[in-house]
Amino acid sequence: MTANLILLIVGVIILVVAGDFLVRGAAAFARKWGVPALIVGLTIVAFGTSAPELVVSVQAVIDGASALAFSNVVGSNIANILLALGLPALILAIPTDTPGVTRNTVFAVFATLVLIALVFIHNPLERWQGAILFSGIVGYLFWMFSLARAGSRDPALREMAEIDEMDGLPRSQLISLIFVVGGIIGLAIGGNLIVDNATEMAQRMGVAQSVIGLTLVAIGTSLPEIATVIVAAYRGHNEVAIGNVVGSNIFNIFAVMGAAALTGPIDIPASLMSIDVWVMLGTILLLLGIIIAGKPIGRRLGFAMVLGYGGYCLIIGQRLNDAAMYAA
């Protein structure tokens, strides 16, 4: 069990580092070929930051652990709201009145409702449902591109448009190629390590794969968003925090879940449908309510959000106890 946990953590680290290498190498190639920075930001960077969730979910479906794929997305979206916003708020208050925040959060609520509706319409999720979900991210990207071209003051869009200023982009095409190839290989290795060891841990503990996916795997694949927002808050760029988190949730639902369902059927356990999808919806509605109220996310609210995530983990822990008692 200890070895599985260590290998899972190693897989997460490899996944995060490989995703960063892939983004930087691909962005450098795109800049070399004269691709507009905004297009690079809306495609390479946007998909690259969701690479951990994407790789793990698709790999899980390929390996026949589809419950892990769905729970990874649900757990990541919950962690994004409660941890990726709650923890930085302990450092510096996060404003909720920045341009585009309300619009994007409403769209994230819409994406969440679409996923829940598709789950209840037909379980397991089939390829036609995956196609619907993936078309959502295509439409969202076109919408964001049109807003940016129209001069939107959305700070997240502005950050994407300034991708040429990203630090650490390789200068030569050879190094860029090494970054891209190394990133792809690293993503494959990291994804395999996470899925294989998460599945084995679930078997050893006698619990559903979804329990591991909602906790260890979800937090691990959300680390890039959590780290990005904490660093942004520390540097005083907290206005992009909500935009990054909400954008990640939209990508997780439409791009990650869509790609996973296109790979193969995703059988969703009843426990996820009765509890966790509603927690996911509740967290994004909570954020929308905070934004509508126009209040910044300060230390008290941030602490309450982190505490709420702790309470959610206790609920999952109770499932572990129930499973252990049932097995006994």
Question: pLDDT, tens digit, for every residue of 310-321?
Answer: 999 888 877 655
pLDDT of residue 43: 63
The total number of structural domains that make up the chain: 1
How many residues can be counted in the chain? 328
Nearest to 255 by CA among 144, 171, 121: 144
| Full domain range(s) for residue 25 | 2-327
Q: What CATH number did the domain enclosing 216 receive? A: 1.20.1420.30
Residue 92 three-state SS: coil
Cβ(130)–Cβ(257) below 8 Å: yes
Q: Provide long-range contacts, Cβ within 8 A and 24+ apart, for 32-37.
A: 32/173, 32/176, 37/160, 37/161, 37/162, 37/163, 37/164
Which residues are CB-neighbours of 324 under 8 A, at least 6 positions away?
206
C-alpha–C-alpha distance, residues 84 and 212, integer Å: 19
Nearest to 225 by CA among 259, 207, 208, 248: 248
Q: Does 300 score more than 70 pLDDT?
A: yes
What phi and psi, each to the nearest 5 degrees, are found at residue 148? -65, -40
pLDDT of residue 326: 42
Q: Please indicate whether residue 290 or residue 98 has the higher confidence score (pLDDT).
A: 290
C-alpha–C-alpha distance, residues 84 and 80, integer Å: 5
Bridge partners of 94, per DSSP, are: 297
Q: Does 324 score more than 60 pLDDT?
A: no
Q: Please indicate whether residue 183 or residue 111 has the higher confidence score (pLDDT).
A: 111
Question: pLDDT, tens digit, for every residue of 135-153?
Answer: 999 998 888 878 777 777 6
Question: pLDDT, tens digit, for every residue of 37-87?
Answer: 556 655 666 666 677 778 888 888 988 888 888 988 999 899 989 988 888
Q: Please indicate whether residue 184 or residue 165 has the higher confidence score (pLDDT).
A: 184
